[in-house]
Amino acid sequence: MATADISHVSEEEENYLRMNLLLTGISPRAVRVLFDNEFHPSCLEASIKQDMGKLLDLKKKRVINAAQWNLLCPRSGTPNSSSFDVTLMVALLRNLTNLPPPAGGYDQLPSSTDTTTTADLARIKYFRNQLAHYDDGKIKSTLFIAAWDDISGAVGRLGGPSMEEECSELKT
């Protein structure tokens, strides 16, 4: 198998690629650890049915889109969190559990000293949204270092030491 020559990739482009892998590869699995704790896979379908009224309201308010709705209520089979993205898991955790919201809410970047579970969810959600707005595929090294430490700390707290180790390996 041939390997790609990526010597032409700048440091800022490499930062973007690493951050993208962190936020789309590792962090969803960390969020899923918490999600599956709150909505155990064996009870997920029952939880969805129990909260159908709230879910319909979230769909009506466009918090949950059609594709996410189809994951929650598949035509065949049962819902499975492994197919849920971070946005859907955070929406469900935020609206269907008794987890206290982070101090600044879910739509702001929490203080780096706020290491509560919900602050970590807000942190991951915030940085995923930020990444989506980088049109040039580049992240400056100063921002990369600060954001990486913030995100990988959240991943470690939510997903455990093995996921934090994955973050360290991906960074280098």
Domain of residue 89, residue span: 12-171
Q: How many CB atoms lie within 10 A of CB 80?
A: 12
Q: Look at residue 134 in the predicted model and tell me its pLDDT.
A: 86
How many Cα atoms sit within 13 Å of 113 on the Cβ side? 0
Residue 108 DSSP symbol? S
R_g of the chain, CA atoms, integer Å = 17
Answer yes or no: is 36 within a domain. Answer: yes
Structure tokens at 51: 């909260």
In tens digits, the chain (172 residues) has pLDDT values of 555 555 688 999 999 999 999 999 999 999 999 999 999 999 999 999 999 999 999 999 999 999 999 999 999 989 999 999 999 999 999 999 999 999 999 989 999 899 999 999 999 999 999 998 888 999 999 999 999 999 999 999 999 999 999 999 998 8
Answer yes or no: is 2 within a domain. Answer: no
Q: Output the pTM of the full model.
A: 0.88
Q: How many CB atoms lie within 10 A of CB 43?
A: 11
Task: Report d(CA 154, CA 31) in Å as an integer.
Answer: 9
- How far is the CA of 14 from the CAs of 137, 142, 172, in angstroms? 9, 13, 11
For the chain, the maximum distance between any two Cα atoms, rounded to a whole number of angstroms, is 53
Query: How would you class 146 by CB atoms within 10 Å of its CB: exposed for 0-12, middle for 13-18, buried for 19 or more?
Result: exposed
Count of structural domains, the chain: 1
Task: Report d(CA 168, CA 147) in Å as an integer.
Answer: 13
Task: Report d(CA 170, CA 33) in Å as an integer.
Answer: 20
